[in-house]
Amino acid sequence: MATSETYAAGAASAPKPFITAERVVYLLLFIGLVALPFFSKGFFVFQMTKLLIYAIAIIGLNLLTGINGQFSLGHGAFYAVGAYTTAIMVEMMGVNYMLTLPVAGLICFVFGFLFGLPALRLDGIYLALATFALAIAMPQFLKLSTIEHLTGGVQGVIVFSETFDPEVPFGLPLDPGVWTYLFTLFVGVFLFWLARNIVASRTGRAMMAIRDNPIAARSMGVNIALYKTLAFGLSALFTGVAGALSAIAVKFVAPDSFTFALSIVLLVGLVVGGVGWLPGALIGAAFIVFVPNFAEEISKGLSGAVFGFFLILVIYLAPQGAGGLLRAGVGRVKRLLGGR
């Protein structure tokens, strides 16, 4: 992988001051994102909600591909499982939507962990093939007639069919759309923090070691099978929670929202944001939410071509995505300022 230096450098260093440039940037970003819905219109808030949801899913994919070096063209499938879990629990069982997120995450973790078991024996292109098959087969699973009373078959499930909107807790005087956005933001911040800590932990280092050199990792005593399946499970967990949030935000799930195109979109976001650089998820997600709008203005159905074109461009010109460009830019500024 080309991105091995991304996190490796931060593994062991002298104690840092409490206020770092990085933390200030994150804090400003967070304040900006919290303030955003109070200064913008409803549809834009919905789009930003979608952006955050995609960002969470891309973080999940990044844990698998960027950190552990395994490929997946099938993350749309995990996203679907998460979305359906929430939809079914809210609609059929009357569970509070906030409580469905951990359940969706857990189910996806198990699902991902189980899929990771055969994936252990598959390398590179074969793993891509198996996950490709998973992504294409997923809508047919969801349409299966024996579980139609739960999934609603082709029609799907309308979430919050009685209340129309997710309930705003504590009687806060907020528009449901704004609340959904803030809720997604809080979940996203929590998951981002979690992902960063996983990457910085013993587990994360083991995963990166497997990515960089499996043989060396094994001889250092890293349990390859365990950490590879664990990476699959964790990755599916993140993506599944993103799917669950999408069910809450879109208020509707149907098999044809989770086709192969969704998996492509997630991959595009990952590559554009930067493989192996977690904050890149936000940039990648912004790309996949807003670029289709511009493309559709030129011609309907052209967004695929624009995505494809950008993917090729990124691979040629900036193989580390926006993250790589940003780091290169920051490095240059530092050198200009005379630092080392």
Partner 1 sequence: MDLFLQQIVSGFATGGIYACMALSVVMIYQAIHHLNFAQGEMATFSTFIAWQLLAWGLPYFAVIPLAIGLSFIGGFIVERVVFKPIENAPVLSHIVIFIALFAIFNSAMGFIWDFSIKPVPSAFGEGPLYEGSLLSKHQTGMISVTMFVLVLLWAFFRFTRVGLAMRAAAANPQSARLVGIRVSFMTALGWGMASAIGAVAGILIAPVVFLEPNMMLSILLYGFAGAVLGGLTSPLGAVIGGFIVGIVENLAGTYIPVVGGELKLPIALFLIVVVLVVKPEGLLGRRVVQRV
Residues near partner 1 (CB under 8 A) are 1-2, 65, 71, 73, 118, 121-122, 124-126, 128-130, 132-134, 136-137, 140-141, 143-146, 215, 260, 264, 267-268, 271, 275, 299, 301-309, 311-312, 315-316, 319
Q: How far is the CB of 308 from partner 1 (least distance, A)?
A: 4
- Shortest distance in whole angstroms from residue 271 CB to partner 1: 5
Q: Which is nearer to partner 1, 33 or 278 (CB)?
A: 278
What Cα–Cα distance (Å) separates residue 253 from each residue in 148, 152, 225?
13, 9, 34
Pairing relationship of beta strands 252-253 and 157-158 according to DSSP bridges: antiparallel
**Nearer of residues 211 and 251 to partner 1, judged by Cβ:** 211
User: What minimum distance in Å lies between the beta carbon of 44 and partner 1?
Assistant: 26
DSSP SS3 for 61: helix
Three-class HEC string of 169-205: HHHCCCCHHHHHHHHHHHHHHHHHHHHHHHHHCHHHH
**Please, what is the angle between helix 280-298 and helix 42-62, to 10°?**
130
* Closest by Cα among 45, 57, 253, 51 to 160: 253
Name the minimum Å distance from CB 136 to partner 1.
5
In the chain, which ranges are continuous DSSP H helix? 5-8, 21-35, 42-62, 75-92, 97-119, 124-143, 148-151, 176-200, 202-212, 214-219, 224-250, 260-273, 280-298, 303-317, 321-336
Quick one: 22 or 123, whose CB is closer to partner 1? 123
Q: Least distance to partner 1 from the beta carbon of 274, Å?
A: 12
Residue closer to partner 1 by CB (options 179, 310) is: 310
Pick 78 or 183: Cβ nearer partner 1 = 78
Structure tokens, 310: 């950008």
Closer to partner 1 by CB, 115 or 238: give it. Answer: 115
Minimum Å distance from CB 245 to partner 1?
A: 25
* Short-list 175, 211, 179, 192, CA closest to 273: 192
Distance in Å, CB of 265 to partner 1, minimum: 9
| Tokens found for residue 17 | 């001051």
What is the rounded distance in angstroms from the CA atom of residue 34 to the CA atom of residue 90? 26
Handedness of CA 1, 287, 166, 164 (dihedral sign): negative
Q: Which is nearer to partner 1, 106 or 147 (CB)?
A: 147
Joined tokens for residue 153: 């078959």
